[in-house]
Structure 1
Amino acid sequence: MDWDKIRLFYEVAEAGNFTRAGNKLGVNQSSVSRQISALEQDLKVPLFHRHPRGLILTEHGEVLFKAAQDMHLRLERARQRLSDTSERPAGELKVTATVGIGGIWLAQRITEFLDLYPEVHIQLILTPDELDLAMREADIAIRLRRPAQPDLIQRRLFTIHYHAYAAHSYIEKFGEPQAVGDLDHHRIISLGGEQPSFILELHQLATWGRPPKDPRLGRLVVNDTLALRRAIETGAGVGMAPDYAMSNNPHVKQVLRDIEMPTLDSYLVFPEEVRSVARLQVFREFLAAKAQSWAY
């Protein structure tokens, strides 16, 4: 198979029509259409269903697209390794993390990195989903559990300690809980929504000291960690939060200090093929240094 035709096919499949693919490649629409038809004749199978609203891959087209996508990724990785291993840190670096650790811990430190490496451009993707690093959805991730994929390099970053917090304004109104049983008489706020189960399990205030079928009724459940942090510090109730989000917050106080609280280990995760990329190397070293200098 002619790689030029396969590359053209890949771009057409990505674009969904001949015109957009042609514009990207600098080729007119009729030429793209003719080359795709020639490829279909060479392979003796149809690759697209042609509709007025666009192109849809046939079953044969799906098979070829998967192979072309794999080839495209391999070539891109090879190009990146050839160009990046000996260069100074420069270019785009896609970083993914959860909303909490990315929006609070990392965001508080990213300015220093940008000052140190002015030619590196960070794209920070905050999501509870674990993006596919092998498929280049991101270059490096900060994750709150060990990755299951065996082909990913993982480096432990730091341990995150969770504690119960309440605002000083809340304590002035309702008092401070001294024991788990006191939570029956307090407003409980917690994280909910479409979060990984191991994250939801950290928010145990509704069930501590109560029968599993008779939890405390939460007064507020939010699906965003930043909103939960804001609700705690403005006096909405007692809630669980990581120490990195609350330890320097003058508006809140850690409560129930005598009770053992949950922890999570965080990890830096990245594919083997980008470990020698200069911008990833310096970012990894920067985060490791920041993790060592911070007490949790």
Structure 2
Amino acid sequence: MECANLQVPRRGDGYQTPAKRSVHNDQPASEIRSMQKRVRELGLGDWDDVRVFLAVTRSGSFSRAAEMLGATQSTVSRRIQSLEERLGAKLFDRHAQGMRPTPAARAVIRRAELMETQAQSIERALVGSDMETQGSVRVTGTEGILSCWLVPRLQPFREDFPEIRIELIIADKPLNLGAREADIALRFGEPADPRLISRELGQVHFGLFAARTYLERCGQPESFTDLRDHAILNHSNYYDADTDDVWRRLIDDHAQLPLHTNSSISYLHAVRHGLGIGLLPLYIDGVAPELVSLDLNIGYVRDLFMVTHRETDKRARIQALTQYVKTLAEQGLHHWFL
């Protein structure tokens, strides 16, 4: 089946329903009533068609829906056509910005979402019964925490659980664990969703680092006042998440900002190659021991949580990895998790 493993964004855990738009209702009421009767008598039919329908409704275009689902645009178009033929009604109108749901489509969205919820509930129930430490575990988190902290420490886990395959999903925004977009999330900040289980791993402390080549060229700052004469590299995630204005006070109106990026790997390479001084987590010395830690406590701290969903938390392979990550955090408490 072409769309057997498609993943559809849904409301909650990061997804926001687009604002309703006022559209001209030119679809005959008789056509909508006829379609609703078909739905009552026959149901919406093929679940793959329905999840494609929801993806187009939420994304506003066939191409974006195809990207979300990991399918081709022609597959999306074909499944929408199949659903329209089954229901006997047109579901989308093309406009300048993409595809707009017709009144007929809006009339069945709620039923389609209920079908989605039921399908996900069944999948999670089946997943929860799996007690074998084998198969894949999807872990999501920021590029920095996954690439620079977790990945370098995975080999012992691999040796203990050779049949577990770890899939890493880099994402700055939370993924929907209820929809199984991921099994485990490493997040800065605790989620409010009561369906999620949060385990606090500790506080990640950050410090200022520079390459020896940069310090040889520009000198080493001895105080925060000295930083005014140095090049500072900016990471947009630090800036956006800085609720205490620690990083913003340094960055705002700074005279030398040669680099701004949202990529932790690019940011690390920029520091390593001497472009300027960067703010990095203290665990970075395990990845880049050649960097010099400056003796300037900027006071930038982030609370790190490991998050799972209540309906899948007891799965054996998920438990194996969550326990391992918890142990890693406990081992680092004396150094960079404080």
Q: Distance in 2 between matches of 1:227 and 1:182?
A: 25
Q: Distance in 2 between matches of 1:3 and 1:91?
A: 34
Matched, 1:241 2:280: yes
Change (3 A) 1:86 1:186: closer
SS of 1:108's partner is helix
Counterpart for residue 305 of structure 2 = 267
Q: Distance in 2 between matches of 1:262 and 1:84?
A: 38
Letter in 1 for 2:294: V
* Mapped contact 2:228–2:255 kept (Cα < 8 A): yes
Counterpart for residue 64 of structure 1 = 108
Q: Distance in 2 between matches of 1:202 and 1:174?
A: 24
* Mapped contact 1:191–1:203 kept (Cα < 8 A): no
Q: Distance in 2 between matches of 1:180 and 1:68?
A: 57
Q: Distance in 1 between matches of 2:141 and 2:120?
A: 24
Change (3 A) 1:202 1:97: farther
Give the deviation of 1:82 after TM superposition.
3.5
Corresponding residue to 1:232 among 271, 281, 291: 271
Q: Distance in 1 between matches of 2:184 and 2:234?
A: 29
Counterpart for residue 45 of structure 2 = 5
Matched, 1:197 2:240: yes
Q: Distance in 2 between matches of 1:183 and 1:56?
A: 52
Corresponding residue to 1:129 among 173, 179, 196: 173
Q: Distance in 2 between matches of 1:240 and 1:8?
A: 46
Letter in 2 for 1:158: G
Matched, 1:48 2:91: yes
Change (3 A) 1:219 1:266: same
Letter in 2 for 1:215: H
- TM-score with structure 2 length normalisation? 0.68
Letter in 1 for 2:143: V
Matched, 1:206 2:250: yes
Q: Distance in 2 between matches of 1:12 and 1:82?
A: 23
* Mapped contact 1:48–1:61 kept (Cα < 8 A): yes
* Mapped contact 2:128–2:312 kept (Cα < 8 A): no
Q: Distance in 2 between matches of 1:126 and 1:12?
A: 24
Q: Distance in 2 between matches of 1:37 and 1:146?
A: 45
Percentage of pairs with the same residue: 24
Give the deviation of 1:83 after TM superposition.
5.0
Matched, 1:148 2:192: yes
* Mapped contact 1:6–1:68 kept (Cα < 8 A): no
Change (3 A) 1:152 1:121: same
Change (3 A) 1:134 1:248: closer
Give the deviation of 1:232 after TM superposition.
1.3
* 65-74 or 183-192, which deviates more: 65-74
Change (3 A) 1:70 1:269: farther
RMSD: 3.5
* Mapped contact 1:205–1:240 kept (Cα < 8 A): no
Letter in 2 for 1:230: H
Corresponding residue to 1:171 among 215, 225, 234: 215
Change (3 A) 1:67 1:105: farther
Cα deviation code 1:94-142 (max 9, x no counterpart)? 2110011011111112333333323322221112122222333222211
Matched, 1:139 2:174: no
* Count of residues in correspondence between the two structures: 274
What are the ranges of 5 or more consecutive residues in structure 1 without an aligned counterpart? 41-45
Change (3 A) 1:79 1:134: closer
Matched, 1:256 2:256: no
SS of 1:107's partner is helix
SS of 1:273's partner is coil
Change (3 A) 1:12 1:220: closer
What are the ranges of 5 or more consecutive residues in structure 2 without an aligned counterpart? 1-39, 57-61, 63-71
SS of 2:205's partner is strand
Change (3 A) 1:134 1:196: farther
Letter in 1 for 2:210: A
Letter in 2 for 1:276: K
Change (3 A) 1:249 1:49: closer
Change (3 A) 1:217 1:78: same
Counterpart for residue 285 of structure 1 = 323
